[in-house]
Structure 1
Amino acid sequence: MELRRSESRSRSQRSANGGKMRNSGVRPLWYRNLVRLAHTRAAAVSIATLVLVLLLSVLGPLFSPYGQNQLDVPNAEQGPTLDHLLGTDDYGRDILTRLMYAGRISLTIGLASTVLSVVLGATIGIASGYFGGWVDAVIMRLADLLMSIPSLPLLIIMAALLSEFKVPASSRIYVVMVMLSIIGWPGMSRMIRGEVLSLRERLYMKATEALGLSTRSRLLHHLLPNVLPLLIVQTTLSVAGGILMESTLSFLGLGVVPPNASWGNMMAAASNLMDFQKRPWLWIPPGVAVFVTVVAINVLGDRLRDIYDPKKERA
């Protein structure tokens, strides 16, 4: 009887110890990376800044007493006051309200164009790097052709065609997204291709072939997860590039056009010397918005790169 009790206590103790070991198991890699990112001061400040920009852009207009295109002609070209914290433009529209609405459009274009270019570039890059042969040759020659053309002149030509065909202002937003994704996918595909060429020669990929796993299983379950860190970093950095490109096109009058507001076409309101000198409230707020957002995204992207690839971490 005593022996049975002793065995029972031993089993209970082993079970309790096993439960503790399971509960205190190693955290998944994504969780550890997230903790490292949160404990990085620069990344934490960048994330807080981006969250603030997103909240102001998405929720800010809901609390504004003015509409995006609400005219107040008697108070046109007025500097910052208690009624209009950032002043008004030539038509008496509230700058702060338009700045928040513009954030919606600029951020949406930057994010959407990046997602399109990443999906297209990653799919093409993985196919090119994994299958090789004529598939790789054809895809890379097409990518080389697109990359040999300077992106800004190409965008200007494409945007000029929009004006020639009289594309409505409401539709130009979506066309600009597609345009930015077209010039973005070649660079993304070449980067992913290089990573895939390196990964497919690893022992674990050779083992998947020896085990007879299907191509779909090898790509989705073994190759793609190891490409994701590079995709995450490049996606983050590409959003900043998309916002800058949209702002440039809109500033030149070739992207988002009034009455829709974007940070770029808001800065274009001060394109003459008099407005630049006498009415700085027209261009400083959207300029600061672009600067702060792009810097925050780039800093976050750098910190992500340092976490996912410590060998490239700068001193």
Structure 2
Amino acid sequence: MDENQIKAPLSTLDETEEKIIESAENVATSEMGVDVPVEPVDTDVPLDKNVRLMSPTRMVLRRFFRSKLSMVGIIMLAALFIFSWFGPIVYHPWGETETDRTGASEYEVQEIEVDGVTFIEVRKVGKSINALAEPGGSHLLGTDEKGLDVFVRLMYGGRLSLTLSFLTVILISLLGIIMGGIAGYYGGVVDNIIMRICDVLMCLPTLPLMLIIGTVLEANKVPQDYYIYLLMGVLSLFSWPGMARLVRGQILFLREQEYMVAAEAMGYSTKRKIFKHLIPNI
């Protein structure tokens, strides 16, 4: 073998690549006759390249989309949204408050007896409002007692119901997260006060209370435009304790973790520790 060629030891074909790299003497000979050692090639992949870190949000979304019940629920919710918000755009023969005044006719049958002879009298009565009409071509689900199309009313009613439901859930979540986070982080007297308030609110019967409040609002002639929103606010006010208890339990566990000790050592403010480090990890 020529001296200018690379010198390498013999190795068997069945040796693994890792053993060859560790035992081989990689020495190259340059054109000037100087032996230059060649560094072994590191084929090991760093550990952080093999591990995929997932954020809490991504973990929740992954678990959500793998659940069959969750997918069924989101499909039903999407169908309700499409029906309520896009339905009036596609189906619009009648408006939300448009009354059918075609005046469907009715026939009244009455028996009249004159001189021992019975006669049957049939009267045709015309109505100005087509109330309580049966389902048909002009009204898919018929009309109500005021002559309004039931199918159209369902679509517009779905808009209001979905809007109020989402706003109520958002308000309940905000109140529960804030109050539960404060109670779990501070503990002591603050925790006792907030939890006693939760106990009192949870003892109140929600449905009878809502009926009473609705009657009071109606008796005071509250405008209809604000009536439903006031009920939504009252419902949110009496429904946040459940969320607060869940958040408090998680905060009590998370505040003892190592990253919270590090945040305390870094001198972060209480607001930052609660809303940036604790609540996102619930």
Same fold, TM exceeding 0.5? yes
Instruction: Provide the residue aligned with 1:53 in structure 2.
Output: 80
Instruction: Provide the residue aligned with 2:58 in structure 1.
Output: 31
Show CA shifts across 1:58-92 (max 9, x none). 12122232111110143321222122112211122
Q: Return the structure number with greater helix share.
A: 1
Instruction: Provide the residue aligned with 1:265 in structure 2.
Output: none
Cα 1:121–1:170 change in 2 (3 A) is same
Q: CA deviation at 1:217?
A: 2.3
Largest Rg, 1 or 2: 2
Q: Distance in 1 between matches of 2:185 and 2:67?
A: 35
Cα 1:35–1:130 change in 2 (3 A) is closer
Show CA shifts across 1:216-245 (max 9, x none). 221122101112xxxxxxxxxxxxxxxxxx
Q: CA deviation at 1:26?
A: 4.5
Q: 1:80 aligns with which of 135, 138, 156?
A: 135
* Contact preservation (8 Å) 2:56, 2:281: no
Counterpart residue type for residue 207 of structure 1: A
Q: Distance in 1 between matches of 2:167 and 2:183?
A: 24
Q: CA deviation at 1:126?
A: 0.7
Q: CA deviation at 1:115?
A: 1.0
After TM superposition, the structure 1 = structure 2 runs for residues 283-294 of structure 1, keeping only pairs within 5 Å, are none
Counterpart residue type for residue 39 of structure 1: R
Instruction: Provide the residue aligned with 1:183 in structure 2.
Output: 238
Q: Distance in 1 between matches of 2:52 and 2:249?
A: 35
Q: 1:40 aligns with which of 32, 50, 67?
A: 67
Instruction: Provide the residue aligned with 1:201 in structure 2.
Output: 256
* Contact preservation (8 Å) 1:122, 1:189: yes
Considering only aligned residues, what root-mean-square deviation do their CA atoms show, in Å?
2.8
SS in 2 for 1:103: helix
Q: Return the structure number with greater strand share.
A: 2
After TM superposition, the structure 1 = structure 2 runs for residues 89-100 of structure 1, keeping only pairs within 5 Å, are 89-100=144-155
SS in 1 for 2:215: helix
Question: Is residue 208 of structure 2 the alignment partner of residue 153 of structure 1?
Answer: yes
TM-score scaled by structure 1? 0.61
SS in 1 for 2:145: coil
Give the number of aligned pairs. 218
Q: 2:98 aligns with which of 60, 70, 79?
A: 70
Q: CA deviation at 1:213?
A: 2.5
* Contact preservation (8 Å) 2:181, 2:247: yes
Instruction: Provide the residue aligned with 1:219 in structure 2.
Output: 274
Identity of aligned residues (%): 39
After TM superposition, the structure 1 = structure 2 runs for residues 243-282 of structure 1, keeping only pairs within 5 Å, are none
Q: Distance in 2 between matches of 1:26 and 1:191?
A: 26
Show CA shifts across 1:254-288 (max 9, x none). xxxxxxxxxxxxxxxxxxxxxxxxxxxxxxxxxxx
Q: Quick one: higher RCO (CA 8 Å, sep 6+), 1 or 2? A: 1
SS in 2 for 1:175: helix
* Contact preservation (8 Å) 1:114, 1:184: no
* Range with greater deviation from structure 2 (70-79 or 157-166): 70-79
* Contact preservation (8 Å) 1:109, 1:176: no
Q: CA deviation at 1:37?
A: 2.7
Show CA shifts across 1:154-178 (max 9, x none). 1122112101211011111211110
Q: Distance in 1 between matches of 2:204 and 2:64?
A: 37
